[in-house]
Amino acid sequence: MRNIFAISALFFITLAQSQTHRFIYELQYKMDSTETGYEKLNMLLDISPKEVKFYGQNLAVTDSLNNKFGTNNSHTDMSGQVVKRKINTFDNENFIAIKEGYYSFKTIDKISWVISDETKKVENYTLQKASTKFGGRTWTAWFCKDIPFNEGPYKFRGLPGLIFELSDSTKNFIYHLVKSQKLPDIYSTDNFVESNFGNKAVPINEKQKNKLIMDFYNDPFAFERNNFNKANNNLKININGKEIHTVDELNTQTKNMQEVIRKYNNPIEADKAVHYKK
């Protein structure tokens, strides 16, 4: 992480000029908590004078390519960690894709830290240790007082300095700061955070979100099933590369999908995990 950051004073000047500070974190995470291997994503933390946003870098890349080449491609962030909030608050707006829909819901996520005297050196930076309990997990963070932002990955904020490293005690989620950028303007995410490439987020509450998730689990191919019923089974449907000819075959695909959903049910906020029934 050598030479990533400018002097602290420059950060204050930049904020006054309405630029965006971007911090890029490598996220390693387990979709299935019983697995040993990790999925990897780059996540972006954008800090502007009024808002903080956290989302997958692939969303920004897709939007940039669409603008450059006049294409209309889309991308769905599978991290479950797309959020934005007003600066210096714990009031988050969460964004989630469920089936073909795109939704937002609000949460207040106060995080209380216990700051340790323990420090370590990473390149030229002195990091200090802190811990907290959040989302049904125990977390350890290493933050840098020399970088004057009390922000970090996802909803983790409130420390007297930027979080460089973050992980839960079971090592299901591991973040490392790998790069920083100063963008000349406030970076617009209208096309891929507040909306999903033309699909504007529909405001809901957490109860409605859980119902939508459970409805999808109970019948993930409801649209296809409805078409079968209308066509009196005289219809061929392709699901994940497999041609489906009968309702029985569709039921088999449904059971397979439900098994996948149960297997990869390891959200970052474990205490909000949906409990699926077989």
Q: Is residue 83 part of a domain?
A: yes
193, 66: one domain:
yes
233, 102: one domain:
no
**Alpha carbon distance 122, 66 (integer Å):** 38
**Alpha carbon distance 77, 192 (integer Å):** 9
The answer to whether the CB of 76 falls within 8 A of the CB of 67 is no
Average pLDDT value for residue range 168-191 = 96
Q: Is residue 80 part of a domain?
A: yes
Main-chain phi, psi angles of 215, to 5 degrees: -60, -40
Q: Is residue 131 part of a domain?
A: no
Q: How many domains does the chain have?
A: 2
At position 72, the amino acid (one-letter code) is: N
The answer to whether the CB of 131 falls within 8 A of the CB of 116 is yes
189, 78: one domain:
yes
Q: Is residue 233 part of a domain?
A: yes
Q: Is residue 147 part of a domain?
A: no
Q: Is the pLDDT of residue 241 over 90?
A: no
Q: Is residue 25 part of a domain?
A: yes
Q: Is residue 223 part of a domain?
A: yes
pLDDT of residue 247: 86
**Alpha carbon distance 212, 166 (integer Å):** 31
53, 24: one domain:
yes
99, 176: one domain:
yes
Q: Is residue 91 part of a domain?
A: yes
Give SS3 for 146.
coil
Give pLDDT tens digits for 118-149: 999 998 999 999 999 999 999 999 999 999 99
Domain boundary among 200, 224, 246: 200
pLDDT of residue 10: 45
Residue count (the chain): 278
Report the helix count and the strand count for the chain, using DSSP H and E: 5, 16
Main-chain phi, psi angles of 253, to 5 degrees: -65, -35
**Longest Cα pair distance anywhere in the chain, in angstroms?**
70
**Owning domain of residue 170:** 8-114+166-200
98, 231: one domain:
no
**Alpha carbon distance 20, 185 (integer Å):** 6
Domain boundary among 156, 179, 200: 200
List the structure tokens of 233: 């089974």
Residue 188 gets which letter from DSSP? P
pLDDT of residue 239: 84
Q: DSSP string covering 46-108, please? A: EE-SSEEEEEEHHHHHHHHHHHHHT--------SS-EEEEETT--EEEEEEEETTEEEEEEEE
25, 96: one domain:
yes
Domain boundary among 174, 200, 226: 200
75, 179: one domain:
yes
Q: How are strands ordered across the β-sheet holding 101-108?
A: 114-122, 125-134, 137-144, 162-168, 173-183, 20-29, 39-47, 51-56, 82-86, 91-98, 101-108, 202-203
Q: Is the pLDDT of residue 216 over 60?
A: yes
More confident of the two residues 1 and 128 = 128
pTM above 0.85, yes or no: yes
Give pLDDT tens digits for 40-56: 999 999 999 999 999 99
Picking from 66, 44, 70, 64, the residue whose alpha carbon sits closest to that of residue 55 is 44
As a dihedral over the C-alpha atoms of residue 81, residue 86, residue 92, residue 95, rounded to 10 degrees, the angle is: -50
189, 90: one domain:
yes
79, 178: one domain:
yes
| β-pair partners for 175 | 27, 166
264, 177: one domain:
no
70, 100: one domain:
yes
